[in-house]
Structure 1
């Protein structure tokens, strides 16, 4: 796509989102005072961020890509490849969680994803994968009382 098509599409989406947020804010006015605060704050924050994106999109039409279409195509293919690999990893994780259990499959999934995304420090990979897995295990099993799948490896 050309830069013109990108900023036009982005601008249209931003305007539509702003209209949606305005409509949702107007609908939330009819709620009780206690119930309307969270939706109104959420809609205002979303509107602020969307307005920032709209400004960025409009200002982007004045800049041109340095490398042209070939660089955009390479980037697009790399993004598609990354999304496909992560989706395949999610499917493998969903299948493995029933066999290996939550702790083993989650730690392996997170570690594999981090390694694929380029994190190479072993202590970061180990800390994030084990820390996230154990934190979520504690939250679900002990605080919420929701049992996570257990397999033959834990």
Structure 2
């Protein structure tokens, strides 16, 4: 994996976001808290690995990435971040399943997936699988929305 100049900033941002999730987990049912806590700890572990690799190789990384990020690439990332924000805002209104299917289809199209069957079927299957996994096995209540 090649590290870039932005990777350390992204790691710091993700660590801050995970800290918010970790603090919010204190208000969650103890039975439903285990899996998210394991994921937060694993994420901190992998963020630390990337940050350590970045610090060890910082001279080489900074020398290779003198040009910075192109405007086109920045716009591409900004549009996708806006789509993630819209997805988060729509979860409460449309529900988890509907908003996840819409976001999944959008993501596959935006990432230029050419297989139409995968684009149509994968988000639906993944959304329902995750919904039942979280609601029936992990006892996490997801927003029901208009379909459930």
| TM-score category (smaller protein) | 0.5 to 0.7
- State the TM-score, normalizing by the size of structure 1: 0.53
CA distance in 2, matches of 1:98, 1:104: 10
- State the TM-score, normalizing by the size of structure 2: 0.55
- Mapped pair 1:104 → 2:105: no
Q: Which has the larger radius of gyration?
A: 1
CA distance in 2, matches of 1:59, 1:89: 30
2:73 alignment partner in structure 1 = 79
CA distance in 2, matches of 1:50, 1:95: 35
CA distance in 1, matches of 2:102, 2:125: 12
1:58 alignment partner in structure 2 = 60
Higher relative CO (CA 8 A, sep ≥ 6), structure 1 or 2?
Answer: 2
CA RMSD after TM alignment: 3.8
CA distance in 1, matches of 2:135, 2:61: 49
Cα deviation 1:85-126 (Å, max 9, x = unaligned): 112112211222122111111010011011111112111212
**Number of positions where the alignment pairs a residue of Structure 1 with one of Structure 2:** 109
Alignment gaps of 5+ in structure 2: 9-40
SS at match of 1:132: helix
Alignment gaps of 5+ in structure 1: 1-6, 14-37
